[in-house]
Chain A
Amino acid sequence: MTTTLAGGRAARRQTMRRIRPRRSPAVPLVIALWAGAAAVLWLWWDNTPSLADNTAKILAAGRITGLLAGYLMALVVLQMARVPALERRVGSDRVARWHAMSGRYTVSLVIAHVFLITWAYALQAGKTLGDIVQQFMDMVTTLPDMGKAAIGTGLLVVIALLSVGGVRRRLPYDTWYHVHLLTYAVVFLTFWHQITTGNEFAVQPTAKTFWYGLYGAVTALVVWYRILTPLRLNLKHRMYVEAVIEETPGIVSVLIGGKKLHRMGAEAGQFFRWRFMAPGMRFSSHPYSLSAAPRPDMLRITVKAIGDHTARLRELRPGTRVWAEGPYGALTAQRRSRGKVLLVAGGVGITPMRALFETLPGASGDITLLYRANSTQDLALWDELAAIADERGARLMYAVNSPDGERPDISADRLRQKLPDIDDHDVFLCGPPGFAQSVYDSLRDAGVPARRIHHESFEM
């Protein structure tokens, strides 16, 4: 008894030594973003001695919105450059939400900029608001690089309209994604008018340098992390489909072989964006989590067949080449700050949890997995989970609908009853949005602080 206790303590100490929670760089990044915005406003402020009348004020407002839009445009692209600090430390899901949010804001600024500038120039030319269309045409045809900018802005508006929630849901993902890639063309087309007609850049050489620096840096990061890094990864590891296994009805695992796969630096809880070189799948890549800790010769993903793409996974032939980008995602052991961990999985959300369940360091009784599914038949990977639980002395619980279809009770009281010290746990949560939200609320009610609930959600 004594030895077990001592062993338990020693093991726990060892675990704690390995737990070094890393802070997400989100706060410094947001501060840097605001500092940049302030610098951009300073460009305008420094270059504008006075504003005599309303026309000048409208023009100034147009310039400010234009400058901010130009600045944010660069950041919106940066957010999708797959920079490791963003993808692995801040979290891909959070960065994607930032991207959507700042994208919408940028489009609004662009529209305001176009309207205000045209209006102000119309007033200057002694025209009224009614002549605004004609004034717009004049500007586009006479000023340098404005033709390009107008085409770019038109494209941007189309892209924005296709990304509005309702429209986007009706589009096939691939169509939406490829249209979205046109944003790079938008950035290129609209960049030049900023330099050639932008008052701040025509007059202040430092401002021009700053702008070239900003856009140059973003371009370099995009080329490096979206093109060169994946190229190197795939040339080095040469991945292919080794086997496809049906886990439960509708859930398949794909085993992926390759060279030195442990050298990719993937951690349990992370995902890759996968592209399978099979007919109809070549042109789209999809994010799937690793459902087991990476091995030198094999990776495994487990996927629920809900869409076209996922259904096709079942028909993959062994030997099919695989193109992967990653690893991405911040739902890893690095988030942990406590000795005890509760993993909560809903449905196919089990995949990253399964990998964490296997690899999170912990003594007997430190790790608990709660697995929610519709029925016991839907508990994919259950046998593996049971084996891991056995071996590690971890707790494994499931919650399924009762035979009459009633949902299981995952309330704060019930959680506390099962885990009396739940407020001293780190919780990793993965599942469909409705499920994740309700579990999150129960966890908060049960006294788990928000900073110790780690979840990933790709809902916008």
Chain B
Amino acid sequence: MRKSHPIRRVVLAGAATVSGIVLLLSLKPASDPASASAAGGAAPPAAAQESAQGGAQAAGTSTSTGDAAQTQYGAVQVRITVVGNKITKSEAVQAPQGGTSTEKTNLAVPKLNADVVAKQSPDIDTVSGATYTSEGYKKSLQSAIDKANAAASAAQPSQSASAPAQEAASKTLTGTVAQTQYGPVQVRITVANGKITKAEAVQAPSGGQSTQKTELAVPKLNAAAVAAGSADIDSVSGATYTSAGYKKSLQSALDQAGG
């Protein structure tokens, strides 16, 4: 029956906890050494020139996935689709999740995706309220562009055939976010002359197995949407939930096109 000293115990436990946490925090570096080297200025693959929006199955399409950039809220990884020498699509295959991060990712990533396609350069605007995610996005985007350039110079692609300009007639529509149990799915379509010329997922589940499934299913779904011209497309087996969410969001985009 040792004498207990409640006050002393409280003070000791409190002091030990606070100093333990402060120690842990101080052991973490201010910036992530792994991704710091990824920052480097390289020119985007091409000057933004007049060019048509590439279809989902356009010839000369290639994708390039950047290195994952660590941010303090989690990793960001960007994949771009290059048609000819133009970025036709940019998407985040990984982005911070959990707590407010989920919200922020949902808020920022679609904007960033759109900005890349619009500016054709890694020099995009930071989304306010999602500074870290934006910075990570830019880093990973830069690395994706570098890779695309390396691949392009290795392959020496032929001059891309510029399709006739249809920009006036085409419009882009983004569907509502469809929640699935693995995360949100959001589809954006480009409609020209009443036809879907392009479909893409601006958001899709990522993290764990979801990343693989998204990578497997989304390109197929994109292609199917263009081919079918409607939301009546087949589910990709092994990615049922993502497919269902995709169809829902696609339908809402089509509804906008119709109305």
* B207 and A64 form a contact (CB under 8 A): no
In the complex, whether B167 has a CB less than 8 A from a CB of chain A is no
B99 and A60: CB pair below 8 A? no
Interface assignment of B155: CB less than 8 Å from any CB of chain A: no
Bound CA span A437–B207, Å: 58
- How many angstroms between the C-alpha atoms of A342 and B117 in the bound complex? 86
Whether the Cβ atoms of B21 and A203 lie closer than 8 Å is no
Q: Supply 11 A–B pairs (Cβ within 8 Å), ascending by A.
A: A50-B32, A51-B30, A101-B9, A108-B14, A121-B99, A126-B129, A198-B98, A202-B207, A203-B97, A437-B1, A440-B1
How far does the alpha carbon of A197 sit from the alpha carbon of B104 in the complex, in Å? 13
Determine the distance from Cα of A197 to Cα of B14 in the docked complex, in whole angstroms: 26
Cβ contact of B30, chosen from A52, A108, A437, cutoff 8 A: A52
In the complex the two chains form, what is the Cα distance from A199 to B1 in whole Å? 43
A105 lies within 8 A of B207 (CB): no
A50 cross-chain contacts in B, Cβ below 8 A: 28-32, 70, 72
The answer to whether A56 and B101 touch across the interface, beta carbons within 8 angstroms, is: no
Cβ-neighbour of B72 out of A49, A197, A203 (below 8 A): A49
B24 and A45 contacting across the interface, CB-CB below 8 Å: yes
Known: A49-B34, A49-B72, A203-B207. A61 touches B99 (CB 8 A): no
Please tell me if the beta carbons of A197 and B70 are within 8 angstroms of each other in the complex: no
B69 and chain A: residue at smallest CB distance: A49
Q: Are B21 and A49 in contact (CB under 8 A)?
A: no
A178 at the interface (CB under 8 A from B): no
Q: Which residue of B lies closest to A144 (CB)?
A: B102
Most buried by A among B9, B28, B31: B28
A60 with B28: in contact, given A49-B72, A197-B98, A199-B101 (CB under 8 Å)? yes
The answer for the CA separation of A200 and B99 in the assembled complex, in Å, is 10
Chain B residues contacting A198 (CB-CB under 8 Å) are 98-99
- Contact A203 B98, CB 8 Å, known A49-B32, A50-B31, A50-B72: yes
Are B70 and A202 in contact, CB atoms less than 8 angstroms apart? no
**What is the predominant secondary structure among interface residues of chain A facing chain B?**
helix
Chain B positions within 8 Å of A, measured between CB atoms, are 1-2, 9, 13-14, 17, 21, 24-25, 28-32, 34-35, 70-74, 96-103, 129, 132, 207-209
Tell me if B13 and A197 are in contact (CB < 8 A).
Answer: no
Q: How far is the CA of A200 from the CA of B34 in the complex (A)?
A: 20
Chain A, 90-115, contact with B by CB distance < 8 Å: what is the 0/1 string? 00000000000100010011000000
Is A142 on the interface with B (CB-CB < 8 A)? yes
B74/A203 in contact, CB under 8 A: yes
Q: Is A26 an interface residue (CB 8 A)?
A: no
With CB as the reference atom, state the residue of chain B lying closest to A61.
B21
A101 contact set on B, CB distance < 8 A: 9
In the complex, A455 has a CB within 8 A of chain B = yes
Tell me whether B70 and A49 are in contact (CB under 8 A). yes
Distance between Cα atoms of A49 and B74 in the complex (Å): 8
Q: What separation, in Å, do the CA atoms of A47 and B29 have in the docked complex? A: 13
Interface residue from A48, A105, A201, A203 paired with B13 (Cβ < 8 Å) = A105
Q: Do B103 and A142 touch across chains, with their CB atoms under 8 A apart?
A: yes
- Beyond known contacts A49-B71, A126-B129, A436-B1: 11 more, CB 8 A cutoff: A41-B24, A45-B24, A49-B72, A50-B30, A51-B28, A51-B29, A53-B30, A57-B25, A108-B14, A199-B96, A203-B207
Q: Is the CB of A48 within 8 A of B100?
A: no
Q: Are A51 and B98 in contact (CB under 8 A)?
A: no
Q: Is the CB of A201 within 8 A of B98?
A: yes
Cβ contacts under 8 Å, B129 to chain A: 124-126
- A368 in the interface, Cβ–Cβ < 8 Å? no
A49 to B30, CA, bound (A): 9
A52 cross-chain contacts in B, Cβ below 8 A: 30-31, 72, 132
Bound-complex Cα distance A142 to B129 (A): 16
> Which of B1, B30, B31, B100 sits near A455, CB closer than 8 Å?
B1
A143 in contact with B99 (CB, 8 Å): yes
Q: How far is the CA of A125 from the CA of B129 in the complex (A)?
A: 6
Question: Considering the chains assembled together, what is the distance between the CA atoms of A41 and B27 in angstroms?
Answer: 13
Instruction: Say yes or no: is A457 at the interface (Cβ < 8 Å to chain B).
Output: yes
Q: Min CB distance, B130 to chain A, in Å?
A: 9
A139 within 8 A of B: yes
Q: Check B1–A453 contact: CB distance below 8 A.
A: yes
* Chain A residues near B31 (CB-CB < 8 A): 50, 52
Residues of chain B within 8 A (CB-CB) of A202 are: 97-99, 101-102, 207
Contacts of B14 in A (CB 8 A): 108
Q: Which residues of A contact B25 (CB under 8 A)?
A: 51, 57, 60-61
- Contact in complex: B97, A121 (CB < 8 Å): no
Interface centre among A44, A65, A121, A124, by most B CB within 10 Å? Answer: A124
Q: Chain B residues near A166 (CB, 8 Å)? A: none
Shortest C-beta distance, A126 to chain B (Å), equals: 8
Partner of A56, one of B13, B70, B72, B103: B72
A205: interface (CB < 8 Å): yes
Q: Which 5 A-B pairs rank lowest in CB-CB distance, beginning with the nearest?
A: A202-B98, A199-B98, A49-B70, A49-B32, A50-B32
**Complex: how many Å from CA A117 to CA B21?**
14
A56 CA to B70 CA, complexed, in Å = 14
Q: State A455–B9 Cα separation when bound (angstroms).
A: 22
Chain A nearest Cβ from B210, distance in angstroms: 10
| Residue of B9, B25, B99, B132 contacting most chain A CB atoms (<10 Å) | B99
- Considering only residues 27-71 of chain A, those with a C-beta below 8 Å from chain B are 41, 44-45, 47-53, 56-57, 60-61, 64-65
Q: Which residues of B contact A125 (CB under 8 A)?
A: 129
Q: Verify A48–B28 contact, CB threshold 8 A.
A: yes
Tell me, rounded to whole Å, the shortest Cβ–Cβ distance linking A225 to chain B: 28
Which residues in A have their C-beta under 8 angstroms from that of B29? 50-51
A44: chain B residues within 8 A (beta carbon): 24
A263 to B235, CA, bound (A): 62
For B102, the chain A residues whose CB sits under 8 A away are: 197, 202
Best-buried of A47, A65, A197, A203 by chain B (most CB within 10 Å):
A203
Chain A residue contacts of B72, Cβ below 8 A:
48-52, 56
Residues of chain A contacted by B9 (CB below 8 angstroms): 101
Contacts of A142 in B (CB 8 A): 103
Q: Name the A residues within 8 Å of B208 (CB-CB).
A: 205
Are B21 and A65 in contact, CB atoms less than 8 angstroms apart?
yes
In whole angstroms, what is the CA distance A64 to B132 when docked?
20
Complex-state Cα separation, A101 to B31, whole angstroms: 38
Residues of A within 8 A of B73 (CB): 199
Cα A436 to Cα B4 in complex, Å, equals 14
